[in-house]
Structure 1
């Protein structure tokens, strides 16, 4: 009787560590395919089933994956077009501000001449020291100028962050689609960033 009790105790002692070690091994292994996919997706891969922006936007066929890539190309073209639009708007607003400043200076000069207080320059210019945190040649803040620029920058930043999220999936197709869209946008609209002097 004592021998059988000792045998049972030895068997229980031998099986308990083995069961515990197998449990710890099961806990160390990924519990689902989703975790293993997230661990292996931190490098460039060519899967056609990566979601974009949301789990609901997951291509389930090659046709849907191609449509997602085309969407990214169009989004990158919009990003480049918005960047050029902001550049052109800034140039237009700065030219308008210079024109307004010139009109104001001309009006003041005419008022001084009419009042008889216009004095000729003696050739000596007085240079005022620039104060800290004071910038020269900065246009004044205007609602009609700064709000449109801020809205364009808002759209530009939003599209840029969406493209960044697409690239961060490390999907080769998404990455190449973003690069292709930027190239296409520059090819179509890049010439609008430069002005050509016409005689």
Structure 2
């Protein structure tokens, strides 16, 4: 089986039921892939910052009214394992894996429009939420 890119506008996406029959439907499919890639980058930014988000909520929920905020240099103890936080982390990882696999399947169709849509969505997602990822250099 040859692996080459092609430019057909009637390439099915995920199932035979999702086969664009017009140029407008193909454009709609490409817009969906752009948005899905943006959602993926946004979820990735949330996942990277999940510990600090959870820490902020835990700080607000804390009942110790007179407790000082931690200062630089204070020893930070690791949080105990809890079922709630483990479920949140596992759910987030599962959603991230699912969205990334959907993007991968779209690329594997070898359709140039689908491929470029995902690249464009990745660019847009990184442009808008890239500063919130851990490896952001900007």
From 152, 158, 175, the equivalent of 2:115 is 175
Q: How many equivalent residue pairs? A: 119
Structure 2: distance between partners of 1:90 and 1:170: 37
1:79–1:156: 8 Å Cα contact kept in structure 2? Answer: yes
**Bigger CA radius of gyration:** 1
Structure 2: distance between partners of 1:52 and 1:182: 18
From 46, 49, 61, the equivalent of 2:22 is 61
Give TM-score scaled by structure 2 length.
0.76
1:44–1:170: 8 Å Cα contact kept in structure 2? Answer: yes
Unpaired runs of 5+ residues, structure 1, are 1-38, 98-102, 104-136, 195-199
CA RMSD of aligned residues (A): 2.4
Higher helix share: 1
Whose relative contact order is higher, 1 or 2, with alpha carbons under 8 Å and at least 6 apart? 2
Residue 126 of structure 1 is matched in structure 2 by none
- Report the 3-state secondary structure (helix = DSSP H, G, I; strand = E; otherwise coil) of the residue aligned with 1:68: helix
Equivalences for 1:26-37 in 2 at 5 Å?
none
Residue 47 of structure 2 is matched in structure 1 by 86
Residue 77 of structure 1 is matched in structure 2 by 38
Structure 2: distance between partners of 1:166 and 1:184: 18
Unpaired runs of 5+ residues, structure 2, are 59-63, 65-76
Q: CA deviation at 1:145?
A: 1.5
Equivalences for 1:47-196 in 2 at 5 Å?
47-93=8-54, 139-193=79-133
- Runs ≥4 in structure 1, deviation > 2 angstroms? 90-97, 137-140
Give TM-score scaled by structure 1 length.
0.54
Structure 2: distance between partners of 1:44 and 1:167: 10
